C-alpha cells in the first residue's frame, strides 16, 4: 500500500515527530511504500529540517512544501499539487496545519484521509486556538480518526465525529532501536554529582508541560535536605523564564537542552516526572518505562492509561502540587522502590506498547478506509 504521512516541520523531535519516525519506519519494514510530505516553515528558525534529515537517514522519502505562518492560497495550491502528484492510497496526517490543509483537499482528490490526534494545547494564543477549532471541523471530513487515549477518543466523538470512524490506537515505540541507541554522552556524569538522586523531565519547554510544577517540587525537596538534582531536557519558549526562577530560588536544577539520542537523557535519570496539564499518550513515559526508569506523573489524559499506580510508577491528581511533592519525596528516599517500579515498568512497556501491534492496527484502518466509497 502507498501511504503518505503529512506533518508540519519542527525544530525538535518530540511526541508527534517521534511517532512519524517510528510509524513510517515500521510500515516500510512491513513492505508498504511510504513517503512523508512536510509543511516546512523556515520562518521558525534553524533546525526545521531535523525531522526530514532523520527520515532520510532511515530511508524514508520526503517532500517539502514551503509555508508561511498562515494558510494562504499559495500554500493550499502547493499542497494540492503535491497530493495530486503523489496519489497515495491513504494520506495520514499528524499536525493541526496539515489536518486543516489535507481534509478538504483529500475530499476534492478522492483520497482517503486518516488523522492521528496527538493532543490539543488549549493555549492562550488565539491563532493556535483557531487552528484547534478548525482541526475539530477537519476531523469530521476525515475517513478515520486515530486517538492515542480513551479520553481523546471520547473528546473527538463529543466534537461530532462518528464513533465508527474514531479508533483507539495507542502509540507503539521501537523498543529495539531505543534500547540499542549508542551511549553518545554520559549525561549523568556531565551534569550531576555522584551522590545525587537525579529526577527530570524530557519535554518541550512550553506552558502546557507544567515545568513550573516541577520547579516547585524541586524547591520542596531542597527544603527537606534531600540530595537531588533536577534535569530538564528540551528546548522551547520558557527557557529564559525557567532559568530566571532556578537562579532566583537557587534550585538544584539544570536546563540540559535538546539531546539528539533521547535514550541518553533517560539513562541519566533515576525518576522521570510528567507534570503536563494536557496529554494524549506521552511517549516520554513509555520510553522511560522501556528503559527501566520509574515515573511520577500527574493523572492527565493518557498518562493514567500508561502508568499503573504503585506498580510501574506513581500517579498524582492533576494539579495537586502537594501530592507531587510527596510522591517524589517517597521515590527519592527509597532506592528499593525505585528499582521495583523500574523493573515492572520495563516489562509493561514491552508487553503493551509494541510497534508491531500499532502497525497491525493501522493497517486494518488503512484497509477499511481504502474500501470506502470515495466522494470526490
Show the 3-state SS of 66-133: ECCCCCCHHHHHHHHHHHHHHCCCEEEECCHHHHHHHHHHHHHHCCCEEEEECCCCCCCCHHHHHHHH
Nearest to 79, CA basis, from 38, 29, 111: 38
Residue 28 and residue 168 share a domain: yes
**Residue 42, pLDDT score:** 67
pLDDT tens-digit map of 186-236: 999 999 999 999 999 999 999 989 999 999 999 999 999 999 999 999 999
The strand ranges marked E within the chain are: 2-8, 33-40, 61-66, 90-93, 113-117, 144-147, 166-168, 197-202, 228-233, 253-257, 271-274, 295-298, 313-316
Cα 55–chain centre separation: 17
Residue 45 and residue 138 share a domain: yes
**For residue 66, which phi and psi values (nearest 5 degrees)?**
-75, 135
- Model confidence band, residue 46 (pLDDT cutoffs 50, 70, 90): low
Residue 213 and residue 340 share a domain: yes
- Domain encompassing residue 122: 2-172+355-371
Segment 272-285 mean pLDDT: 88
The answer to whether position 281 is within a domain reads yes
**Residue 31, pLDDT score:** 98
Which of 43-57, 58-72, 334-348 has the lowest average pLDDT?
A: 43-57
The answer to whether position 168 is within a domain reads yes
**For residue 25, which phi and psi values (nearest 5 degrees)?**
-65, -45
The C-alpha cell that represents 65 in the structure block? 512544501
Residue 157 and residue 18 share a domain: yes
Residue 335 and residue 205 share a domain: yes
Rounded CA-CA distance 120/128 in Å is: 10
The answer to whether position 362 is within a domain reads yes
Cβ atoms of 132 and 122 closer than 8 Å: yes
Residue 76 and residue 32 share a domain: yes
**For residue 294, which phi and psi values (nearest 5 degrees)?**
-70, 155
Give me the percent of the chain exceeding a pLDDT of 70: 94
**For residue 277, which phi and psi values (nearest 5 degrees)?**
-80, -20
The answer to whether residue 129 scores a pLDDT higher than 90 is no
Residue 305 and residue 265 share a domain: yes
Nearest to 259, CA basis, from 219, 239, 289, 232: 232
Give the residue with greater pLDDT, 179 vs 188.
188
Distance in angstroms between the alpha carbons of the first and the last residue of the chain: 21
Residue 365 and residue 342 share a domain: no
Segment 31-48 mean pLDDT: 83
Residues across the chain: 376
- Model confidence band, residue 254 (pLDDT cutoffs 50, 70, 90): very high
- Model confidence band, residue 287 (pLDDT cutoffs 50, 70, 90): very high
Residue 273 and residue 202 share a domain: yes
- Model confidence band, residue 376 (pLDDT cutoffs 50, 70, 90): very low
The answer to whether position 376 is within a domain reads no
Segment 106-111 mean pLDDT: 96
Residue 167 and residue 195 share a domain: no
Q: How many domains does the chain have?
A: 2
The domain that holds 49 is classified in CATH as: 3.40.50.2000
pLDDT tens-digit map of 320-348: 999 999 999 999 999 999 999 999 999 99
The answer to whether residue 72 scores a pLDDT higher than 90 is no
**Residue 120, pLDDT score:** 62
Residue 290 and residue 146 share a domain: no
The answer to whether residue 126 scores a pLDDT higher than 70 is no
The answer to whether position 80 is within a domain reads yes
Residue 218 and residue 87 share a domain: no
The C-alpha cell that represents 189 in the structure block? 556524569
The answer to whether position 235 is within a domain reads yes
**Residue 346, pLDDT score:** 95
Amino acid at each position: 500500500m502507498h501511504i503518505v504521512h503529512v506533518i508540519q516541520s519542527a525544530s525538535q523531535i518530540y511526541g508527534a515527530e517521534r511517532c512519524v519516525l517510528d510509524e513510517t519506519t515500521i510500515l516500510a519494514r512491513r513492505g508498504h511504500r511510504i513517503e512523508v510530505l512536510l509543511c516546512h516553515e523556515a520562518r521558525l528558525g534553524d533546525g526545521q529540517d531535523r525531522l526530514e534529515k532523520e527520515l532520510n537517514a532511515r530511508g524514508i522519502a520526503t517532500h517539502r512544501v514551503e509555508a508561511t505562518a498562515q494558510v494562504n492560497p499559495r500554500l493550499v495550491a502547493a499542497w494540492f499539487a503535491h497530493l495530486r502528484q503523489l496519489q497515495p492510497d491513504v494520506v495520514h496526517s499528524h499536525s493541526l496545519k496539515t489536518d486543516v490543509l489535507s481534509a478538504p483537499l483529500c475530499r476534492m482528490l478522492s483520497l482517503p484521509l486518516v488523522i492521528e490526534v496527538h493532543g490539543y494545547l488549549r493555549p492562550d494564543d488565539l491563532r493556535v486556538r483557531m487552528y484547534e477549532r478548525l482541526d475539530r471541523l477537519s476531523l469530521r471530513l476525515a475517513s478515520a480518526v486515530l486517538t492515542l487515549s480513551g479520553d481523546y477518543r471520547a473528546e473527538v466523538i463529543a466534537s461530532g465525529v462518528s464513533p465508527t470512524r474514531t479508533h483507539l490506537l495507542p502509540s507503539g515505540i521501537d523498543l529495539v532501536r531505543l534500547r540499542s541507541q549508542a551511549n553518545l554522552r554520559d549525561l549523568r556524569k556531565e551534569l550531576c554529582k555522584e551522590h545525587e538522586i537525579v529526577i527530570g523531565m524530557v519535554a518541550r519547554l512550553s506552558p502546557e508541560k507544567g515545568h513550573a510544577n516541577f520547579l516547585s517540587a524541586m524547591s520542596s525537596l531542597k527544603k527537606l535536605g534531600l540530595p537531588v538534582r533536577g534535569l530538564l531536557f528540551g528546548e522551547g519558549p520558557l527557557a529564559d523564564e525557567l532559568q530566571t526562577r532556578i537562579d532566583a530560588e537557587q534550585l538544584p536544577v539544570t536546563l540540559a537542552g535538546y539531546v539528539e539520542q533521547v535514550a541518553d537523557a533517560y539513562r541519566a535519570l533515576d525518576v522521570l516526572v510528567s507534570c503536563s496539564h494536557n496529554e494524549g499518550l506521552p511517549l516520554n513515559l513509555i520510553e522511560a518505562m522501556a528503559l527501566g526508569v520509574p515515573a511520577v506523573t500527574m493523572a492527565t489524559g493518557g498518562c493514567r492509561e500508561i502508568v499503573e499506580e504503585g506498580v510501574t510508577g506513581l500517579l498524582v491528581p492533576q494539579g495537586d502540587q502537594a501530592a507531587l511533592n510527596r510522591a517524589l519525596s517517597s521515590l527519592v528516599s527509597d532506592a528499593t522502590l525505585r528499582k521495583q517500579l523500574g523493573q515492572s515498568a520495563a516489562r509493561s512497556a514491552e508487553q503493551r506498547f509494541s510497534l508491531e501491534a500499532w502497525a497491525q492496527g493501522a493497517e486494518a484502518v488503512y484497509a477499511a478506509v481504502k474500501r470506502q466509497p470515495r466522494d470526490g
